[in-house]
């Protein structure tokens, strides 16, 4: 019969060589690994830790981007972010994709410090490229809108509002170059612009009256 001795197992605990029973109670955790609750608890803990890491990475990336962007780039960043969040919550890689998208439209290159930041955080270029593809699909930006944001020297908010009205009333048509010409024509001609604004007011008034009539009709009780 083999003599039983005390040996060290592969986990580093002292055990009985015959029975495998742990005898080093001071260094051994008596967790019951066979319990289903244990695995559920570990899985839940790992999931929470992963969610926290994702949130932390988003904050780190966002704070970094805000520290290197110009005020104009920040405005554009948040404008695009608001559009993309209609499709779901943003993530760190999408933040970076938006930033690179803005730089590309400005014909700028990413800086060496930016690439060092990505490397230090373990963020791969492939993930950003994939998000940029997704971003282009989500945005499908109108060249006229891009012109307003980056080239138009007048009141950009007014130009955007006028452009939306022109499209709404089918007054902006043709290719991007044609639509841009039409927009500038209305922006530079107050008489034409007032006609569009007046048309919009009349339509809003008509819609309001229609809505009130519907409410009055619904409030009537038929006997």
pLDDT at 161: 87
Segment 119-156, tens digit of pLDDT: 998 888 888 988 888 787 677 768 888 788 668 888 88
Task: Write the DSSP symbol of residue 25.
Answer: T
> What is the model's pTM?
0.47
**In 10 A of CB 131, how many CB atoms?**
23
> If you average pLDDT over residues 90-107, what whole number do you get?
90
DSSP β-ladder status, 6-8 and 14-16: antiparallel
In a domain, 189, yes or no: yes
Give the structural domain span for 65.
51-141
Q: Are residues 59 and 120 in the same domain?
A: yes
In a domain, 37, yes or no: no
The helix or strand, by DSSP H or E, that contains position 128, with its residue range, turns out to be helix 125-139
Q: Are residues 57 and 123 in the same domain?
A: yes
pLDDT at 52: 61
Task: State residue 16 phi and psi, 5-degree precision.
Answer: -75, 125
Instruction: Please say if the pLDDT value at position 207 is more than 90.
Output: no
What's the domain count of the chain? 2
The secondary structure of 81-122 as a DSSP string is HHHHTTSS---HHHHHHHHHHHHHHTT-PPPHHHHHHHHHTT
- CATH at 92: 1.10.472
Q: Are residues 172 and 203 in the same domain?
A: yes
Q: Are residues 55 and 87 in the same domain?
A: yes
Which has the closest alpha carbon to 145: 133, 156, 134?
A: 156
> If you average pLDDT over residues 193-222, what whole number do you get?
71
């Amino acid at each position: 019969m083999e003599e039983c001795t005390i040996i060290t197992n592969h986990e580093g605990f002292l055990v009985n060589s015959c029975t495998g029973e742990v005898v080093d109670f001071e260094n051994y955790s008596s967790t019951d690994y066979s319990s289903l609750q244990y695995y559920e608890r570990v899985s839940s803990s790992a999931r929470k830790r992963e969610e926290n890491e994702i949130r932390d990475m988003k904050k780190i990336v966002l704070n970094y981007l805000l520290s290197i962007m110009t005020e104009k780039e920040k405005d554009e960043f948040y404008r695009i972010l608001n559009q993309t969040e209609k499709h779901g919550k943003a993530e760190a890689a999408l933040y970076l994709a938006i930033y690179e998208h803005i730089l590309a439209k400005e014909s700028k290159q990413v800086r060496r410090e930016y690439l060092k930041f990505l490397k230090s955080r373990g963020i791969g270029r492939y993930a950003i490229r994939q998000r940029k593809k997704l971003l282009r699909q989500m945005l499908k930006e109108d060249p006229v809108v891009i012109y307003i944001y980056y080239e138009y020297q007048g009141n950009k908010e007014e130009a955007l509002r006028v452009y939306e009205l022109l499209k709404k009333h089918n007054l902006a048509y043709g290719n991007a170059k044609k639509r841009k010409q039409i927009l500038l024509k209305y922006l530079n001609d107050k008489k034409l612009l007032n006609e569009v604004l007046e048309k919009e007011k009349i339509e809003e008034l008509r819609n309001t009256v229609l809505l009130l009539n519907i409410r009055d009709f619904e409030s009537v009780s038929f006997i």
